[in-house]
Structure 1
């Protein structure tokens, strides 16, 4: 029986996804990891609804010394679902960066592959909604003092997309082959500074906006910990929700005992605290080591492939646990290096455990060059 809180897999067959730069439209890349900048996970830069009637409305969010001012465009605020486009762009740029390729604010993405990656509806209506999404991203302005990529003591004003364009097909249909986007420098700083986190691809199956926002916050704060707790009021603030507590609580209740949030179980405690607990994995039971994997810390970008009939997969839980031992390294490049080395070894009883143990043995106490 299908979980009503989850979207179906609209593209169940795996495929590669494409990023083309402006000068090489034939370039294709395998994108299998969902990446996000850290700042937009923790703070409500993307709204829960577009609220088209709020055009030009200004909203302000403050937390500690940081603030965000959001001004809606003609089509309303950019939403958490519109952020899918950011996710795809970030994931592609990180892949290119790991392959030592130059990256910049302007990228060209293939629309069909974007639809697959983000589990979007590939119908004609789906393309119309995608165009509305980029309109909201281009229309929403952000003013903030939240730093990215080590750039501090700056107030930045930017659009969530500075501009975009796409070709119309000759027959006049609205479906386009690609989107050319100009991303804000604020986001590029985060990517270049490795201010990114890896998330579970099942994120795109989450149906409700509030549940997606909650999952993003948990990914940022729980990390490698077995559990994380937050007060109901603070969680609601971080979600950017203005609804009454009783309504917000009902959304939390939906998550209790329900397999909705990837990797996490949710419990609403009596004192209005919300507890997030990582679901157990094999790697939580045993950390195996492999001397054959030991080598100096020099992650080189290597394409992840299969070894014979064996496909090596590292869970998002193991990725987060490994970050403890390599906090300033590019964990994506490290994962690729591990996969390339593991091809020459026998199948591990617990691949996640062996990966974490290897990262610890190689990168603990070392800093990037």
Structure 2
């Protein structure tokens, strides 16, 4: 666990204290849930942003002295390895959940590439939509049409080509991010298809994409041989934890 450095609190109204407590409670109980299936085995995992929150006050005056937060290893490693994606401010103004999800997928999968395409069937799985295929296509088509007319989707353009969604970065997005000299480990370290097959043999019953995520958060620098390093990580993981349960 990694504690956050304490800091003095200068604004000390009763309403501010109550708002802070509610915010910390919401943050601590915010969960990231994963539901991974592989080879007939399912694994559910729930992760918190922070594991502990502490407020220190003076007994005599009730004045708030400091706040201390404790973050889990996964979040600290993700930040250190630059595996955290930034979001455009306009993302928070998108009114439809599907619009926000499409933007999230664009940031993750398209990034700074010239173009990223995905079939609607696979896209529906990634969004978690429970609509019919016909209704899902209508919803995506409406978003693409609105973006074409009003350009309200931030950073990316969305076009529906039959049953394929095409996503391309907007020029202003590339102006900001295209020439950055810093590159995350996720962009530097690439794995071959053979590495995933070897990983499945090294850690049977474990989802290799879940293990890849754990591996990327664990490493602090790019390995010389990414495939061998990943397979070795999976093998040690299986030796420590055995079959997924």
Normalising by structure 2, report the TM-score: 0.50
Cα distance in structure 1, aligned partners of 2:65 and 2:129: 36
Which residue is 2:4 aligned to? 21
Which residue is 2:115 aligned to? 227
8 Å CA contact 2:157–2:168 kept in 1: the answer is yes
Q: 2:166 aligns with which of 272, 275, 278?
A: 275
Matched, 1:254 2:115: no
Equivalent residues in 2 for 1:1-369 (5 A)? 21-23=4-6, 25=7, 130=23, 133-134=26-27, 136-138=29-31, 142=34, 157-165=45-53, 167=55, 180-252=68-140, 253-256=142-145, 257=148, 258-270=150-162, 272-281=163-172, 315-319=176-180, 323=183, 327-328=187-188
Consecutive unaligned residues in structure 2, runs of 5 or more: 38-42, 59-63, 190-221, 224-245
Cα distance in structure 2, aligned partners of 1:230 and 1:279: 18
**SS of residue in 2 equivalent to 1:276:** strand
8 Å CA contact 2:116–2:167 kept in 1: the answer is yes
CA offsets 1:310-368 (integer angstroms, 9 cap, x no match): xxxx613444x9749x9549xxxxxxxxxxxxxxxxxxxxxxxxxxxxxxxxxxxxx89
8 Å CA contact 1:200–1:316 kept in 2: the answer is no
Normalising by structure 1, report the TM-score: 0.36
The structure that has the greater radius of gyration is 2
**SS of residue in 1 equivalent to 2:116:** strand
Cα distance in structure 1, aligned partners of 2:101 and 2:65: 30
8 Å CA contact 1:158–1:184 kept in 2: the answer is no
CA offsets 1:146-173 (integer angstroms, 9 cap, x no match): xxxxxxxxx9955223534365999xxx
Cα distance in structure 2, aligned partners of 1:127 and 1:246: 45
Cα gap change, 1:225 to 1:164, in 2 (>3 Å): same
Cα distance in structure 2, aligned partners of 1:318 and 1:260: 24
**SS of residue in 2 equivalent to 1:315:** helix
Cα distance in structure 2, aligned partners of 1:245 and 1:143: 22
**SS of residue in 2 equivalent to 1:248:** helix
Between Structure 1 and Structure 2, which shows a larger proportion of strand residues? Answer: 2
Size of the aligned set, in residue pairs, is 169
Cα gap change, 1:135 to 1:195, in 2 (>3 Å): closer
Between Structure 1 and Structure 2, which shows a larger proportion of helix residues? Answer: 2
